[in-house]
Amino acid sequence: MSLEMKTQYGTIEIGTDVIATIAGGAAVDCYGIVGMASKKQIKDGLTEILKKENFTKGVIVRQVGEDVNIDMYIIVSYGTKISEVANNVQNKVKYTLDQTLGLSVDSVNIFVQGVKVTNL
């Protein structure tokens, strides 16, 4: 599946896997994020931290009309304020997609799938 952007020069199609990979990379760069989780984690009952090549399993990109909505499934570090981490991820993902692809994102929904104690 892909998203279409119309410009004065023509139409640009961007694959949702590309958007998901960029969004996942931006998210894991934020402080307090241990990694991305699978969106099927609730069904599976196992928390799996996804590697860089599998970020698309933890990100859902939807286009409703002209609006682009992103759902992200993350694992946060123990001892961090979850609301601040989620807010930072939302801002960073919106900024990164705007600067990288010129894509205006309407909403970034964060689903915390787990908390993990990290070794310091």
Residue 99's CATH number: 3.30.70.1350
For residue 83, the enclosing domain spans 2-116
pTM value?
0.82
Nearest Cα to Cα of residue 24 among 76, 74, 83: 74
Write the DSSP symbol of residue 117: P
Pick the more confident residue, 35 or 10: 10
**Mean local confidence (pLDDT), 32-45:** 70
- Rounded (5°) CA angle 68-83-38: 60
Number of H helices, E strands in the chain: 3, 7
Rounded mean pLDDT, 10-34: 90
The number of distinct structural domains making up the chain is: 1
